[in-house]
């Protein structure tokens, strides 16, 4: 039986290592993919992902069940990724090489579409790209994105609108 995040967190705080493993397994791939999509190398994304889960475990006693745990965890991932990028003066590029191909899809068309999406997102400023990734790949609301990125909700909505307008413009221009 799959336990909800709140139940797992309570168990972890009581020292249940199996609950900790379940929670990490539940979110590991999503956190890794988020960090990787933001432009980390594969190895760097693995390292940052480990740091995120270590930080999560340290901060878990202070977690308050206001909002979703997933958004709280993504905020930790966002902060650790930004710190790593600043420390390493990292160039941020959108990465989709490890996307899953849906069964029955034409693989060559899928790869061509990935390249187009990657190119379009890389042309956006980081803040717009990150906001679009959080919204359309991970399904976060504007309110959750605001918490994750530490920006006001109107700014999140503006970044989404401006980023999508730029992508639409690129599509019209055939880039």
Q: What is the CATH number of the domain that holds 148?
A: 1.10.10.10
- DSSP string across 92-150: P----TTPPPPTTS-HHHHHHHHHHHHHHHHTS-HHHHHHHIIIIIT---HHHHHHHHT
Q: What's residue 110's pLDDT? A: 39
10: DSSP letter:
H
Q: What's residue 88's pLDDT? A: 72
Give tens-digit pLDDT for 82-134. Answer: 888 777 765 444 444 444 433 334 433 433 455 667 778 878 888 999 999 89
- Residue 109 is part of which domain span? 104-175
**pTM beyond 0.85, yes or no:** no
Give tens-digit pLDDT for 6-50. Answer: 999 999 999 999 999 999 999 999 999 999 888 778 899 999 999
Same domain, 136 and 71: no
Number of compact structural domains in the chain:
2
Residues 6 or more apart in contact with residue 49 via CB below 8 angstroms: 28, 31, 32, 35, 77
Same domain, 9 and 88: yes
């Amino acid at each position: 039986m799959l336990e909800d995040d709140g139940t797992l967190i309570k168990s972890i705080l009581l020292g249940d290592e199996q609950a900790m493993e379940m929670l990490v397994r539940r979110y590991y791939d999503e956190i890794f993919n988020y960090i990787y999509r933001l432009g980390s190398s594969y190895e760097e994304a693995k390292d940052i992902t480990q740091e995120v889960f270590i930080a999560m475990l340290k901060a878990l006693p202070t977690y308050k069940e206001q909002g979703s745990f997933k958004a709280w965890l993504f905020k930790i991932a966002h902060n650790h990724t930004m710190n790593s990028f600043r420390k390493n003066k990292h160039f941020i590029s959108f990465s989709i090489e490890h996307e899953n191909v849906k069964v029955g899809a034409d693989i060559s068309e899928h790869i061509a579409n990935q390249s187009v999406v990657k190119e379009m997102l890389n042309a956006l400023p980081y803040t717009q790209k990150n906001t679009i990734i959080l919204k359309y790949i991970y399904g976060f609301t504007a309110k959750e994105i605001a918490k994750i990125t530490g920006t006001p909700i109107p700014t999140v909505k503006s970044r989404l609108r401006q980023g999508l307008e730029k992508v639409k413009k690129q599509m019209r221009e055939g880039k």
